[in-house]
Structure 1
Amino acid sequence: MTDIAAARQSLRDRNLAPEAPLVRQLIADTGLDASARRKISAHAEALVTTVRKGNRLGLMESFLAEYGLATDEGVALMSLAEALLRVPDAETIDALIHDKVGGSNWSSHFGASANQLVNFSSWALSLTADVLGDPEIGPKNALHRAIARLGEPVIRTAVGQAMRLLGSQFVFGRTIDEAIVNAKKPESIGYRYSYDMLGEAARTSADAARYFDAYMSAINSLAPHCTAASVRDNPGISVKLSALHPRYEFAQRSRVMTELVEATRQLALAAKSANMGFNIDAEEADRLDLSLDIIAEVLATPELAGWDGFGVVVQAYGKRVLPLIDWLDATAKSLNRRIMVRLVKGAYWDAEIKRAQVMGLPDYPVYTRKAATDISYIAAARKLFTKASIYPQFASHNAHTAAAVLHLAAEAGRGPDSYEFQRLHGMGERLHDVLRTSAGTRTRIYAPVGAHKDLLAYLVRRLLENGANGSFVYQIADEDIPAATVAEDPIGKVLARDSAPTTSSHLPLEGAGQEGVGERPYV
């Protein structure tokens, strides 16, 4: 059996494998003994302390510190953001606002944040809730009475505009040209960008054609700015396969392998001509096997020879991440190519858990505990540093994860020019500034581009990923949480928990994870 075939078989075997033995193996795969783990945690704690001293947390960190998913108001806001612009009629919008805003205690959040935009949002939501509530309870002032007289149409418009304002903070530009202009200042101090043209799965051929044109237009707009000899020093673009075909599913494999492969190949060839990075984004677990067939077919295109810019995003929360890296390495070697691999924690955890439950699967394709995902990420990072055919890209906002990557890079003799960190626009800014100045690392910023109507699904995924009270982004903003707790070693956490007595070994059957909302396995 070839290395490619062996890795593919191992990948399939691990899809729904039991979690506990996999995590035990992952701990061994990290190669970290107790001494190394202590050093990494100490470094991470120092990073957290430095980040907090900077007093320059981004809007996302400030927002989630006040409205995380551990609060009723945070859940209400997420639901409102997800649903508001999808509702077709005014009557339903009014009912939605009544439901999500009217019954929450917004006034308790006013003035609690260091970010004035967050405080203004709290004030506006509190005022809206007062208007919607019992007039005998609301504030007896002229502003309140005036707004109450104007009625629900004004509230509906104001809340809709507030959601647009919130969303605009997480979009790098409404168009690719606007985003390119916005990137100039960060690029001047060494940051690079990977642009994501916002959009979800295509539902029709017209949708797919529109997304294809958006990607091609973005590549053409970025091409004049790709002036460096190395792909690593130029901007890049991220592409969702599901946006390029309305029937991206195993049942339509013959169509996908013709139509979707050709569309992806055309975009890859255009990216190669511009000498820019071209990343295939990760999506739901049930699409992974089919995506590898597409990737193999496109990567084998003879005209792509000599280009190091083809990239693939892999998700550490997936149980198949290690054999997936082996497969990518073996495939690249067989074609005498070098590729990029962006390692992320994962973006569809809630959907993966619910799908497995609905389908009655024997297990989950993703890890159910945050610490397990963090360990998987470290094991995957170690493996990436052993692959000469792969340029590693580490996407994380977590100080412990960053400290672990730096430790593994030093062990592997890899300098900061042989890999890069990545972060999302609007998140982790201070941490990556510290990494750049203290360790000389390179950071690429993942920048969403598009109108607000295309933002909602992206924004909700970010809130789900980072709004849980166990996430780093949530904890870094809460100075009541000790730096040592924020920088806690995930291996030690798993070993301590698994050594404690338990009454059940069953995986979670309800809700958002084995330990509830605070255990989502993201950043």
Structure 2
Amino acid sequence: MAMRLITGGIYLAKLAIEQRRREIEQELRRLVSKEMRPARSAYWWYQLFARRIMRDGELRAQAMRFVDVFPALKNPEGINRHIKEYFAAGPHSSSLLFRGIVGAGRFPVAKHAMALMAGAAVGAMAGHFTIPAEPPKIIKSVKDIRRRGAEYSFDILGEQVLSEEEADIYKQKYLKSIGLLRGFNCPVNLSLKLSSLYSQFDPLAKEATRREVAKRLKEIARPVKDSGGSLTIDMEQFYLRGLIWEIAKELLSEEEFAGFANFGIAHQAYLCDSEIFLEEIIQAAKERRASFWVRLVKGAYWDYEAIAAGQKNWPIPVYTAREQTDASFERNADIALENYPRVKTAIGSHNLSSVAYVMAKQEFLGLPKNAVEFQTLYGLGTPLIRPLKEMGYPVRVYVGTGNTLEGMSYLARRLLENTSQMSSAFFVEQGRIRR
């Protein structure tokens, strides 16, 4: 009898949360649609591109992969060859636009013109979603974001480094950014990829990696902590996760950083073992003096994880259907919110249904609105900022900063994340928001 009552209570709670989610999502749709009118948002222009590729999964994947590979293309011949390879096949190839684009590569003058136009288009897109690593532009973006009532977190763009010289350069970029922000009395809020702090970052060389990364990580974390700022560690690819987490735990276990409450760790819901790993994170939070943040995201390396596992004949570590990832995201949100205040939850999603679910769950648990922070991507999540603020929630904008080439790679990964089967952003067409 008692078990039936418990089961019935859980069922009724889920019904109540789901009903509230639908109400909140409807309100979000209404508010976001206002933000995406052409007169109010540059994001509208991005929609023209995104709406087109959203209708064609093959075109979407090919376009983003072309953006990702573009920085490595050195001449017009290479650019046009890749245009042909990526866009000459598929349902879209019969349209006059794509037939013209592919066909133009046969003529020398047109070939050079196409290469220039491709470079300009990709560079312009990257520039809309990232910020150049130039002090005046960084400070201007900080002021613009804070003027909207939001906070920010800067990620200096770059992937795994190939030499110790590159690793030191990457570290120095962070230290200079910290000095720049402090010099203008701006909060120091940073996101960091540990694999960029050591050229031999490898789980098979665990001790050397931990030792070398820890030295550089402390040099960055110390001034961030002392300034009252925040530092979030990105989780990157699955095979690096265990080592990244060990290094993060070691930092937090040291007396100097034991009270560092504005430390955060990214957590990827598309991983099949994400709930188990989140419980491990929460246990670590319970064992330390101060709480820390969990940035819950769906995941940005789906293609890589699937391909890498297939090549090695290993089980794919990520969910293979969007619905599975969405459900995992909600279960992970449940776990994180139910462990407030030992962990504080940051939600990194533009999916209106997912955002609404978190709000509904937060209300059901009776938590204050500042128990959860919603994070958007610079340029991609702009239409969400004002609605979230109007609803009383803290908002933080995740900003990638770097040169154009780094911005292109970042753009490809972000757009693949937000337009793939794994995680949909929102798009408005004739007054409706599609997920």
Counterpart residue type for residue 356 of structure 1: A
- Structure 2 residue 393 is matched with structure 1 residue 420: no
Cα displacement (A) at 1:61: 3.8
RMSD: 2.9
Unaligned runs of 5+ in 2: 1-8
Cα displacement (A) at 1:41: 2.4
Aligned partner of 1:349 among 294, 302, 310: 302
Q: Give CA deviations for 1:40-77 in whole Å, capped at 9, x if unaligned.
A: 12331342244235443624444211223725544443
Cα displacement (A) at 1:184: 0.8
Aligned partner of 2:290 among 320, 337, 360: 337
Cα displacement (A) at 1:380: 1.5
Q: Which residue of 2 aligns with 1:3?
A: none
Cα displacement (A) at 1:153: 2.6
Q: Contact 1:51–1:430 (CA<8 Å) still a contact in 2?
A: yes
Aligned partner of 1:376 among 315, 318, 328: 328
SS at match of 1:313: strand
SS at match of 1:169: helix
Aligned 1:34-113 pairs, distance under 5 A = 34-56=15-37, 58=43, 59-68=45-54, 70=56, 73-100=59-86
Aligned partner of 1:215 among 174, 189, 197: 174
Counterpart residue type for residue 43 of structure 1: I
Aligned partner of 1:460 among 409, 412, 415: 412
Provide the C-alpha distance between the structure 2 equivalents of 1:412 and 1:35, rounded to a whole number of angstroms.
12
Q: Which residue of 2 aligns with 1:195?
A: 154
Provide the C-alpha distance between the structure 1 equivalents of 2:119 and 2:377, rounded to a whole number of angstroms.
25
Provide the C-alpha distance between the structure 2 equivalents of 1:284 and 1:82, rounded to a whole number of angstroms.
17
Aligned 1:231-270 pairs, distance under 5 A = 234-270=187-223
Counterpart residue type for residue 421 of structure 1: F
Q: Which residue of 1 aligns with 2:253?
A: 300
**Inter-CA distance 221–462: structure 2 relative to 1 (3 Å threshold):** same
Counterpart residue type for residue 428 of structure 2: A
Tell me which moved more, 80-89 or 64-73.
64-73
Cα displacement (A) at 1:199: 0.3
**Inter-CA distance 326–467: structure 2 relative to 1 (3 Å threshold):** closer
SS at match of 2:320: coil
Q: Contact 1:281–1:313 (CA<8 Å) still a contact in 2?
A: yes
Provide the C-alpha distance between the structure 1 equivalents of 2:280 and 2:150, rounded to a whole number of angstroms.
30
Provide the C-alpha distance between the structure 2 equivalents of 1:97 and 1:392, rounded to a whole number of angstroms.
42
Aligned residues: 420
Cα displacement (A) at 1:360: 1.6
SS at match of 1:164: helix
Q: Contact 1:195–1:237 (CA<8 Å) still a contact in 2?
A: yes
Tell me which moved more, 235-244 or 456-465.
456-465
- Structure 2 residue 122 is matched with structure 1 residue 163: yes
TM-score, normalising length from structure 2?
0.87
Q: Contact 1:103–1:129 (CA<8 Å) still a contact in 2?
A: no
TM-score, normalising length from structure 1?
0.73
**Inter-CA distance 468–424: structure 2 relative to 1 (3 Å threshold):** same
Q: Which residue of 2 aligns with 1:476?
A: 427
Provide the C-alpha distance between the structure 2 equivalents of 1:460 and 1:340, rounded to a whole number of angstroms.
27
Counterpart residue type for residue 372 of structure 1: Q
Q: Contact 1:70–1:467 (CA<8 Å) still a contact in 2?
A: no
Q: Give CA deviations for 1:224-262 in whole Å, capped at 9, x if unaligned.
A: 3556xxxxxx45100001111112211111101211111
Q: Which residue of 1 aligns with 2:5?
A: none
Q: Contact 2:295–2:347 (CA<8 Å) still a contact in 1?
A: yes
Provide the C-alpha distance between the structure 2 equivalents of 1:329 and 1:200, rounded to a whole number of angstroms.
28
Q: Contact 1:73–1:106 (CA<8 Å) still a contact in 2?
A: no
Q: Which residue of 2 aligns with 1:410?
A: 363
Q: Contact 2:267–2:295 (CA<8 Å) still a contact in 1?
A: yes
Cα displacement (A) at 1:108: 5.6
Aligned partner of 2:266 among 290, 308, 313: 313
Q: Which residue of 1 aligns with 2:231?
A: 278
Provide the C-alpha distance between the structure 1 equivalents of 2:10 and 2:197, rounded to a whole number of angstroms.
36
Counterpart residue type for residue 141 of structure 2: N
Counterpart residue type for residue 427 of structure 1: L
- Structure 2 residue 131 is matched with structure 1 residue 172: yes
**Inter-CA distance 78–69: structure 2 relative to 1 (3 Å threshold):** farther
Give % identity.
Answer: 24
Tell me which moved more, 242-251 or 182-191.
182-191
Cα displacement (A) at 1:463: 2.3
Unaligned runs of 5+ in 1: 1-27, 110-121, 134-147, 228-233, 487-523
**Inter-CA distance 416–246: structure 2 relative to 1 (3 Å threshold):** same
SS at match of 1:477: strand
**Inter-CA distance 455–296: structure 2 relative to 1 (3 Å threshold):** same
Q: Give CA deviations for 1:447-477 in whole Å, capped at 9, x if unaligned.
A: 010111112321111221123367532x523
- Structure 2 residue 381 is matched with structure 1 residue 400: no
Provide the C-alpha distance between the structure 2 equivalents of 1:153 and 1:126, rounded to a whole number of angstroms.
17
Counterpart residue type for residue 366 of structure 1: V
Q: Which residue of 1 aligns with 2:6?
A: none
Q: Contact 1:102–1:130 (CA<8 Å) still a contact in 2?
A: no
Provide the C-alpha distance between the structure 1 equivalents of 2:278 and 2:12, rounded to a whole number of angstroms.
17
Q: Contact 1:200–1:457 (CA<8 Å) still a contact in 2?
A: no
SS at match of 1:447: strand
Q: Which residue of 2 aligns with 1:132?
A: 105
SS at match of 1:351: helix
Counterpart residue type for residue 403 of structure 2: A
Counterpart residue type for residue 181 of structure 1: K
Q: Contact 1:193–1:236 (CA<8 Å) still a contact in 2?
A: yes
SS at match of 2:300: coil
